[in-house]
Amino acid sequence: MLKELQGKTAVITGAGSGFGLEVARIGARHGMNLVLVDVQADALERARTELEAAGAAVLAQRVDVSSAEAMDDLAEAVQQRFGAPHFVFNNAGVAAGGLVWENTVADWQWVLGVNLWGVVHGVRAFTPRMLAASQADPAYRGHIVNTASMAGLLTPPNMGVYNVSKHAVVALTETLYQDLHLVSDQIGASVLCPYFVPTGISQSERNRPGELATGQPTQSQLIGQAMSDKAVSSGKVTAAEVAQKVFDAMAADAFYIYSHPKALGNVQTRMSAIVAGQNPPDPFAERPDVGVQLRAALRGA
Ligand SMILES: NC(=O)c1ccc[n+]([C@@H]2O[C@H](COP(=O)([O-])OP(=O)(O)OC[C@H]3O[C@@H](n4cnc5c(N)ncnc54)[C@H](O)[C@@H]3O)[C@@H](O)[C@H]2O)c1
């Protein structure tokens, strides 16, 4: 349960855009020290300038979260500047779509590298320092929030790499929650599962490293990109509203953070089928027209 934020330290990955930037803005309003982490230098610099102008003490670090060494160095730099953090938001993420057998090894390495290994490194590098702080000070409170997705609770077609990365983040974070409870009452964990929210996520390719580049996108990847552009840009809930839910969840020690609780019917349907031993349900049950269009496009009709 993290409620008192004034003078406390937040580490935010993916802080240059979207949810990360909005969480940083709220942190600044609450008087938190901010460690802003992003791989995109210009976005990171803009965030640093804005948040320093808002009065926050800022440490901005250009880090690729998929790098174990860079994340270890980051944790050390945070420790030197502010001591152990109180809030770690492992949020940086990228998306790639397409039929699951068409994704290249580079696609898997890039998406799992950022979305899964980035969270693994954040948990690995910061949790021991937070535990040490909690042992040294009974008043210390900390919270780790990992960003997954509704794609961590569902298996929408034509985006398998992303689904796998986000299911792994849900599993990692549920286990983190359980493991923390074995050893401490002072540090909590939550998982953020947004549905479609307008951010830069559908332009993730802007940050794909050159060594993980792939050739021309396949037909299924082009279709997936167009569908994701449309779904993300037409989302009605804002990134700022989702960021506020992150702080509300930390204060209430709530584990699952949903941007669109009404979309949970799909999760219920999936879970019921699993328990009943039924085959995976139609993912387009609520929007049959979308399924008809997608099948027609993929079959070249
Ligand atoms: N927007 C949505 O609809 C949605 C839905 C579900 C989950 N999510 C998740 O939310 C998280 C935040 O994404 P967003 O929607 O705010 O998108 P965004 O693109 O606006 O922000 C993501 C940030 O992560 C940074 N980033 C990318 N690769 C990185 C790397 N290797 N190291 C460090 N930083 C890196 C980007 O530069 C960017 O600033 C992601 O994990 C994403 O998968 C988003």
Computed on alpha carbons and rounded to an integer, the radius of gyration of the chain in Å comes to 19
* 24 has pLDDT over 70: yes
CA distance 196 to 270: 19
Site to probe by mutation for ligand 1, drawn from 201, 202, 204, 259 as the one with most ligand atoms within 8 Å of Cβ, is 201
Classified as helix, coil or strand, 289 is: helix
Residues in the chain: 301
Structure tokens at 176: 């983190």
Pocket of ligand 1 (CB under 6 A): 13-14, 16-20, 38-40, 43, 64-66, 91-95, 114-115, 147, 149, 194, 196-197, 199-201, 204, 207, 232
Confidence category of residue 40, pLDDT binned at 50, 70, 90: very high
How far apart are the CA of 63 and the centre of ligand 1, in A? 14
pLDDT score, position 49: 98
pLDDT tens-digit profile of 239-290? 999 999 999 999 999 999 999 999 999 999 999 999 999 999 998 888 899 8
Calculate mean pLDDT across residues 147-171: 98
Average pLDDT over the chain, rounded to an integer:
97
Domain residues of the chain, as ranges?
Answer: 9-259, 267-301
Residue of higher predicted confidence among 73 and 297: 73
- Cβ(96)–Cβ(114) under 8 Å? no
- 9-259: what CATH class? alpha beta
Atom index in ligand 1 nearest the CA of residue 202 equals: 19
Calculate mean pLDDT across residues 148-174: 98
pLDDT tens-digit profile of 195-228? 999 999 999 999 999 999 998 999 999 999 999 9
